[in-house]
Structure 1
Amino acid sequence: MGPESLLLILPVAGCLGIFWIILKFSSSRIATQYRLLAERFGLELDQPPVKMGGFVRPDPSLHGEYRGREVSFSAPGKGLKGTRQIESLVKLELKDRRLRAQMAPAGLLGGLRQRDSGGKGRWKSGDEAFDEAVDVRTGNPAILQEVLTDERRKWLASALKKSKATLYIGDGAIAWAKLGLIADEATRLRFEEVVEFFCDFAEAVEG
């Protein structure tokens, strides 16, 4: 191999090495937050092995039972115009299957994320601040009106606005999805709050 070849290979190798280090550091941060979540809720941690010499590092996941209901954390990838849109998803079991609803931050983006709501129009709670902040679609308004107390409406309006998350309730589950990965303490603590809130919410729905 001549000097010219080395001059071409060394910069590429250096870039690959830097990329590998960044991936390892990012993966380590995410794994740490998932380990802490596992300890906090008593869930089982699944950490898939790395592939391709560490250049492919699958995201961890959690599953198990907390407060008498199944709970899971994952980071499914979604295709978006040829890109990989990553969101962190927490799902909780809902034993009462009557309630079906979707919530997203109000506005153009929220409306676009409600495209799979089955053509349902926006539901209004009568709370002006909540209705301005949250786009709600539901086929069970009576149940939702009953369980959405003032305190819960305030929490949902604030949490959805800050996180730009979406909420789906139906098919025996409550699913909270937020763009991005759980890679720092602040995000992990917000997800811990989400789990506690929706455990209380599920208990209210189940009566």
Structure 2
Amino acid sequence: FQPAEEGQRIRAVPGEGQDVPVWILGSSLYGAQLAAMLGLPYAFASHFAPAELDHALDVYRSRFQPSEQLDKPHVMLGLNVFAAPTDAEARLLFTSLQQAFVNLRTGRAGRLPPPVENYDRDLDPMAKTMLGQALSCAVVGSPETVRQGLDAFVRRTGADELMVTAQMFDHAARVRSFEILAEAHKSLSQAA
């Protein structure tokens, strides 16, 4: 993304001369090692691969080598946030993502399914365990639950930035979830 030089065979179009920051996105320790070695910011996909989150953060921060782009480690973490007026409504909305993960991991990938009441009640123990692991980086609940969950996640991980996702079946509910999240973030920022 630097300005083109005489005889350069590859050019970034668009982007040339824009000085676009380069990030390493990872869901394993390899990305953490690479980002640390190159002195680049690191984004970790904890929203779907949280098993190595803590280890990856430790590797990245302990091995970080300053670079032209960055003088100290900078981390962005993926986080599922399902916010609604009540905890119960948020948990219901969350069942779409839970179903999608079970479907994906059992070879039945497809469109995001609609929410299902009491989805986890009849789920087999293996599926429950898988969901508990794969979706452990999720904040699901009412505005206050979301505020507390965000605060706890950032305090625990030391994240500099969050990359938030919400795979909700209903678009209006997703928009409302992001509005609740924005208010929660605002209240945390004001309290800091």
TM-score range, shorter chain: under 0.3
Say which structure is richer in strand.
Answer: 1
TM-score by length of 1: 0.22
TM-score by length of 2: 0.24
